Amino acid sequence: MAAVTVLTLLIAGVASLFMAWSIGAGSSGSTPFAPAVGANAISVMRAGLVVGVLGLLGAVLQGANVTEAVGTELIGGVTLTAGAAIVALLTAAGLVAIGVFAGYPIATAFTVTGAVVGVGLAMGGDPAWPKYVEILTLWVLTPFVGGGIAYAVARALIGDRLPERALTAVLAGLVGVILANVGFALLGPGDEQASIAGAVAAGVGGPGTVGTAAVTLAIAGLVAAAVYADVGRDREGAQRRFLLAMGGLVAFSAGGSQVGLAIGPLVPIFGDVGVPLWALLVGGGVGLLAGSWTGAPRMIKAIAQDYASMGPRRSIAALIPSFAIAQTAVAFGIPVSFNEIIVSAIVGAGYAAGDAGVSRSKMTYTVLAWIGSLVGSLVIGFGVYTAISAVL
């Protein structure tokens, strides 16, 4: 391999690690436990440590779908080169890093998607319109679906119409249904993923759909029963434990989704030299871990305190739809912003208590930052790659 090629791959790898660090510090590392921190269920520093480890596990076990989508499905007619990947990653990482130090959660999915599309168009590629429609549909629906569900769940939990103990158990059971059916790399044959319910059903010899459904109901029932009993013994302690469990699930999901934003552009170039996808996932996961441990506390504090005043019940209400939306995105290979998911859910849950500390000005600036990051990354990526190509 020529020395120039080795150097180019090395620079691309460093750019990817910088992107992974930025994501770990500003998105996957800060958002999952922000509601728990806001509810005083866990400290800021401990949240950063825990989310880093869970994000690494999620990256390795669930990161393949989004990684391949970012690397190969955002632009048609061309394959990203090492130079294009470097420009895209540095553009996106720079914008995310600015958001981290400014205290505003820049949407990483917006920046990476815009940057990859920008450099792809500069290379002469064709827009992948069907994929863009799929992505934009999820992006537009996320604030309404996530915020709306968070609002409804929070209203139910803080109201008097439904018994809190039974309602909390039902919500836990629904989380169990989702968890039983998400895909994990280690459970599937070869490079495929399989769900816990599917793997258990296959292991005991049960029929496909019927067996999977039966195992799903069994898992949901066990989770609901455990939470119901826990709430009966210690209501406040059970709420904190449920909240921390939800934060852990969202942190794991964040790793599975966000790692693809960091290493996706590397898939075409490193695949050509024989680097397996799992190695890229591990490298990206380590970058997320480093970002979570070194840079996430600042953003955790910003999201936990600046958008709405959150108690345990409203925090639980925010994390349940966040987990569901995140796993939907992972399953379909759609790059999604965890900042958008979590902030929308926090605001929805905050309004359930009558505008409980929701900062309208902070929310307005955040939305403008999201839009600006998408447009800016696309324009910068296109312009920088075009300029470099003209010079070289």
Q: What is the pLDDT of residue 383?
A: 96
Pull the structure tokens for residue 200: 């258990």
Q: Integer distance in angstroms from the first to the last C-alpha of the chain?
A: 21
Domain with 301, as residue range(s), is: 3-391
Average of per-residue pLDDT across 38-44: 74
Asked if 39 contacts 312 with a C-beta cutoff of 8 angstroms, the reply is yes
Question: Does residue 365 come out as left (phi exceeding 0), alpha (psi in the -120 to 50 range) or beta?
Answer: alpha
Pull the structure tokens for residue 172: 């836990």
Q: What is the pLDDT of residue 42?
A: 79
Per mean pLDDT, which of 55-59, 219-223, 260-264 is the most reliable? 219-223
Whether 4 shows a pLDDT value over 50: the answer reads no
Q: Please identify which residue in the block is written with the tokens 């905050």.
A: 350
Whether 3 shows a pLDDT value over 70: the answer reads no
Asked if 115 contacts 377 with a C-beta cutoff of 8 angstroms, the reply is yes
Of the candidates 390, 389, 333, 337, the residue with the CA atom closest to the CA atom of residue 366: 337
Distances (CA, A) of 279 to 153, 308, 337, 366: 40, 39, 24, 34
Whether 29 shows a pLDDT value over 60: the answer reads no
Average of per-residue pLDDT across 41-48: 77
Q: Where do the DSSP E strands lie in 7-111? A: 75-76
Reported as a single tens digit per residue, the pLDDT across 125-169 is: 999 999 999 999 999 999 999 999 999 999 999 887 889 999 999
Reported as a single tens digit per residue, the pLDDT across 115-128 is: 999 999 999 999 99
Pull the structure tokens for residue 358: 């929701």
Query: For residues 10 and 40, which has the higher predicted lDDT (pLDDT)?
Result: 10
Specify the number of domains making up the chain: 1
Whether 1 shows a pLDDT value over 50: the answer reads no
What is the pTM (predicted TM-score) of this model?
0.88
| Amino acid at position 361, single letter | S
Proportion of the chain above pLDDT 70, given as a percent: 89
